Structure 1
Amino acid sequence: MDNAMTHYDVVIVGGAMAGATLALALEKMNQETLSIAVIEAVEPKLDQHPGYDSRSIALSSGTTQLLQDIGLWSGIASFSTPIDHIHVSDRHHMGLTELTAKELNVDALGYVVELADVGRFYHQKLETSPHIELICPASVLGIDREQSLSKITLSTGEQISTSLVIAADGAESKTCKSMNIESQNDDFQQVAIIANITTDIHPQGKAFERFTEHGPLALLPMSQGRSSLVWCVSPEESQQILGYDDDTFLAHLQQAFGWRLGQLTKTGQRAHYPLWLRRQKQHISHRFAAIGNAAQTLHPIAGQGFNLGIRDVFSLADCITLANQAGNDIGEYSVLSAYQKRRQPDQQQTITMTAGLVSIFANNAFPMVIGRNVSLCAVDTFRAFLKPLTLRAMGRVNR
């Protein structure tokens, strides 16, 4: 090996929330005995915030507990908005159910955070962590795997080596492609329209999931009385909706959502993306593992994708830590195989639950409408039916 080449125990490709959380978890759990590099292509604009148009994600209470375990949650909590009430309904039909944090005896059902805030928080954490090297801005040009290590060529011209490469570079992971790992892609034939909305009535911690003839529509409470909209519609409808001016869009959305938050008074910029279920056919290979959206990307209908990915992160951190504490090679296939085997039940059950919800709730065929309304009414009447689904949605599952 070239003596001038810097060697790291772990190199994580992708420094967004999944990759950054893994780096910080490994540092904490291994008491700073591992050398870690994080390669991130985009520097956050630390002096700028997208303001009204900031994008958001929902963290389940299970995710926040995991983040608390490694000392990260207190920093993130300061800019989070708790969800203490979820209202689920079907437009034009009788199906209706509600969940409250009080009923489930938890502080919150989940929390909404803005990605700009999260990005700044994690970037600062990585930059100031003594055993993590943040290589940013930089991208990976090539990975050359040998028996005992992998050599990585960076866009900066630098070459580094590592015992283990981890892909955390998102839904269309270039790192997974470079490892010749095949993905299985199922097109939901839907487009998600994303925007921030202001309403007459302050949401006060209330989240809404509404099933409309166009597709499921979610409004999540954000800071400053805003709500984060995710509206799943057909590709044809998305073109029409994206073509509306703001007033027409708000009127169209009002008709679909109803008046539970009063009048919808303002919309931010609208973004959109096609919805797929993407799964890597394997999540490990020689000295390689995939986590988060690089491993699987889900439909947003129940807000499960990111939270499933965080459970991947902590399970992989556990497996690496056990190997490191035993003095074993953390990149060995047996270590990674234990991670893949451990994650499969949760991944399969969450994917099955999400895909099942899509087929039931994103389908306007008459039998499906009847079925889901009976289900919603039954759930509201017999609360015990709700517990297994609620625990999974909250991330309170074995990992």
Structure 2
Amino acid sequence: MEITKPLISEAKSYSPTVLNFDVVIVGGAMTGATLALAIEYFTDAGLSIAVVEAAIHDNSHPGYDARSIALSYSSCNLLERIGIWRALSHFSSAIKSIHVSDQGHFGLTEMHAQHDNFPFFGNVIELIHAGQVFFSAFKTAKNITFFCPAIVLSVEREQKCIKLTLSSGQALQAQLLVAADGTTSSCCAMVGIGHHEHDFNQVAVVANITTSMPHHGRAFERFTSSGPLALLPMSEARSSLVWCVTPLEAPKLLALSDNNFLDALQCAFGWRLGHLVHVGQRNTYPLILHQSTQLISHRFAAVGNAAQTLHPIAGQGFNLGLRDVIALAEEIASAYREAKDCGDIALLLRYQKRRTHDRDNTIAMTSGLVYGFSNTSIPLVLSRNLGLASMSIFHEIKAPLLQKAMGLIE
């Protein structure tokens, strides 16, 4: 994708000059791009920012592929704060109601945004459209320089700065390095930050589905014996599918013809959207909880999937990462207004303190939902279905979980 600023990494001859920035962000997909734009917005372009991205930003970029992302109500508001939501909203599909059910059991509940005086619970955006919006925003940014394609080869930390060497031959120096380079963050590894890992023994099958009945903004979360199945509303009468199955089932589902796959999905999901008439390209990815052992280190911070990668149940992953981004951007902006070092350890400690409670609670909630709804123990099946049924009757039971899902409480 053409951008107004030169792709420095494509220079034919390399200068030994070290390029100085205030902040270097490694990872230019949605999390890293949002952080760069948030810092620019909160500081009125007062800080110089470098974004280093390995993949060329086109329709095949792994951060902006055919998948969709569910933005919570709070996330939409956060993106509006930094001036990006209006452009994204043109490509969004509002979630106006959420239907939750347990396959083969009586428990179900349904939530409607208008009943709780909200315009929507969230919005679904296709990542490829999000990429177009963010790269357009980069074109007009005043103080963001984009290095692509480029890989960080080495990181060297000194007392008052951090230095990076790129695969292009360029050398960068900054006060702060932020890792937004995803689950297998090379930057975290380079500064000695490890991660805890837990395998849920599930694989997500993702695809776009066309249904015979319009979705009318309805999102569905259906719990099956092999894992949760979600259908989220999209444009053009489509829904975004995330179907969590066992590692043995996943390759069998990929090997099915489109018609046979739709038949299997129809059996698992039911007929609430009528006949499932078309499926797009199917992909899979293993579901493993990754959690970095630290959020910060000397002149270093991790955000988004580099800090934690969650199970997709309840759609909390990116929304949690966005709260990382905004908290860090606010702390950086505060330091800028006070003419302080934006990589100072006091700033980083404040960021860590702000994020620890929300991070731990959200990881516990999503992991608990996975185990609670994958367990076939009769007492647990009965209790969770009673819980779902009670949520349909008593708003006081439903409200806290709904507010957490919408990002209104941390």
The normalised TM-score by structure 2 is: 0.94
Distance 2:188 2:140 in 1: 29
Cα offsets for 1:171-230 (capped at 9, x unmatched): 111111111101000110100110111111011111100111221100001111100000
Asked if 1:310 is matched to 2:322, the reply is: yes
Distance 2:359 2:335 in 1: 23
**Partner AA of 2:349 in structure 1:** S
Which residue number corresponds to residue 406 of structure 2?
394
- Structure 1 residues 161 and 391: alpha-carbon distance in aligned structure 2, compared to 1, 3 A threshold: same
Which residue number corresponds to residue 265 of structure 1?
277
Q: Secondary structure at the match of 2:21?
A: strand
Distance 1:297 1:367 in 2: 31
Distance 1:172 1:291 in 2: 13
- Structure 1 residues 235 and 179: alpha-carbon distance in aligned structure 2, compared to 1, 3 A threshold: same
Q: Secondary structure at the match of 2:402?
A: helix
Asked if 1:128 is matched to 2:143, the reply is: no
Asked if 1:381 is matched to 2:381, the reply is: no
Distance 1:41 1:128 in 2: 21
Asked if 1:236 is matched to 2:236, the reply is: no
**Partner AA of 2:166 in structure 1:** L
- Does the 8 Å contact 1:127/1:134 carry over to 2? no
Which residue number corresponds to residue 15 of structure 1?
28
Cα offsets for 1:276-324 (capped at 9, x unmatched): 1110010100000000011001100110011000000000011111111
Distance 1:213 1:185 in 2: 23
Distance 1:261 1:49 in 2: 31
**Partner AA of 2:163 in structure 1:** K
**Partner AA of 1:41 in structure 2:** A
Which residue of the other structure, out of 3, 17, 25, is the alignment partner of 1:4?
17
Which residue number corresponds to residue 170 of structure 1?
182
Which residue number corresponds to residue 359 of structure 1?
371
By how many angstroms is 1:33 displaced?
1.1
Which residue of the other structure, out of 351, 366, 369, is the alignment partner of 2:381?
369
**Partner AA of 2:212 in structure 1:** D
Distance 2:29 2:239 in 1: 23
Which residue number corresponds to residue 260 of structure 2?
248
Which residue number corresponds to residue 32 of structure 1?
45
Give the CA RMSD over aligned residues. 1.6
Distance 2:384 2:283 in 1: 29
Distance 1:324 1:376 in 2: 48
Which residue number corresponds to residue 82 of structure 2?
70
By how many angstroms is 1:49 displaced?
11
Which residue of the other structure, out of 17, 42, 45, is the alignment partner of 2:55?
42
Gaps in structure 2 of 5+ consecutive residues: 1-14
Distance 1:104 1:174 in 2: 43
Which residue of the other structure, out of 91, 95, 107, is the alignment partner of 2:119?
107
By how many angstroms is 1:364 displaced?
2.7
Which residue of the other structure, out of 110, 128, 152, is the alignment partner of 1:140?
152
Asked if 1:196 is matched to 2:196, the reply is: no
Q: Secondary structure at the match of 1:172?
A: coil
Distance 1:12 1:121 in 2: 19
Summarize the alignment of residues 266-345 of structure 1 with structure 2, pairs less than 5 Å apart.
Answer: 266-345=278-357
**Partner AA of 2:39 in structure 1:** L
**Partner AA of 1:294 in structure 2:** A
Which residue of the other structure, out of 198, 218, 228, is the alignment partner of 1:216?
228
Summarize the alignment of residues 146-161 of structure 1 with structure 2, pairs less than 5 Å apart.
Answer: 146-161=158-173
By how many angstroms is 1:3 displaced?
8.6
Which residue number corresponds to residue 85 of structure 1?
97
Paired residue total: 394
Q: Secondary structure at the match of 2:159?
A: coil
Q: Secondary structure at the match of 1:389?
A: helix
Distance 2:339 2:399 in 1: 41
- Does the 8 Å contact 2:162/2:176 carry over to 1? yes
- Does the 8 Å contact 1:215/1:363 carry over to 2? no
- Does the 8 Å contact 2:164/2:173 carry over to 1? yes
Give percent identity, aligned residues only. Answer: 51
- Does the 8 Å contact 2:55/2:61 carry over to 1? no
- Does the 8 Å contact 1:76/1:121 carry over to 2? yes
By how many angstroms is 1:368 displaced?
2.4
Distance 1:41 1:123 in 2: 15
- Does the 8 Å contact 1:199/1:226 carry over to 2? yes
Gaps in structure 1 of 5+ consecutive residues: none
- Does the 8 Å contact 2:17/2:171 carry over to 1? no
Q: Secondary structure at the match of 1:235?
A: coil
**Partner AA of 1:38 in structure 2:** V
Q: Secondary structure at the match of 2:100?
A: strand
By how many angstroms is 1:267 displaced?
0.7
Cα offsets for 1:73-102 (capped at 9, x unmatched): 100001100010111111111101001110
Distance 2:269 2:168 in 1: 49
- Does the 8 Å contact 1:127/1:133 carry over to 2? no
By how many angstroms is 1:327 displaced?
1.2
Distance 2:376 2:30 in 1: 35
Distance 2:350 2:132 in 1: 33
Task: Point out the more displaced range, 285-294 or 131-140.
Answer: 131-140
The normalised TM-score by structure 1 is: 0.96
Distance 2:82 2:374 in 1: 37
- Does the 8 Å contact 2:212/2:274 carry over to 1? yes
